[in-house]
Amino acid sequence: MAVVREILQRDDLIPQVFLKEGYLLKQGRSFQRWRRRYFRLKGRKLYYAQDHLALIFNEIDLIDFSVAERHSKSAHAFQ
């Protein structure tokens, strides 16, 4: 099970180049609704917030997960 914690954006989060970043859908806690969140992947850490300008990001340690990139050529691609 992943541990999620809130962190303030530190100087090491802002100027660095991330492996991947952008908007994705995340399932919310209440009523299991899907919410649009901004994600940043850096090393074995995944950060997300409501938008890219947020001061507080949630951090998920991916140490026990594997990360793979997937491309979709579907007409239903994320907009």
Structure tokens at 42: 């850096």
Q: Read off the pTM.
A: 0.61
* Domain ranges, ordered by start, for the chain: 4-61
pLDDT at 36: 92
One-letter-per-residue 3-state SS of the chain: CCCEEEEECCCCCCCCCCCEEEEEEEECCCCCCEEEEEEEEECCEEEEECCCCCCEEEEEECCCCCCCCCCCCCCCCCC
Which tens digit of pLDDT belongs to each residue from 15-25? Answer: 567 788 899 99
CA 71, 38, 72: angle at the middle one, nearest 5?
Answer: 10
Assigned CATH for 4-61: 2.30.29.30
pLDDT at 14: 54
Which tens digit of pLDDT belongs to each residue from 36-71? Answer: 999 998 888 889 999 988 888 888 888 887 767 776
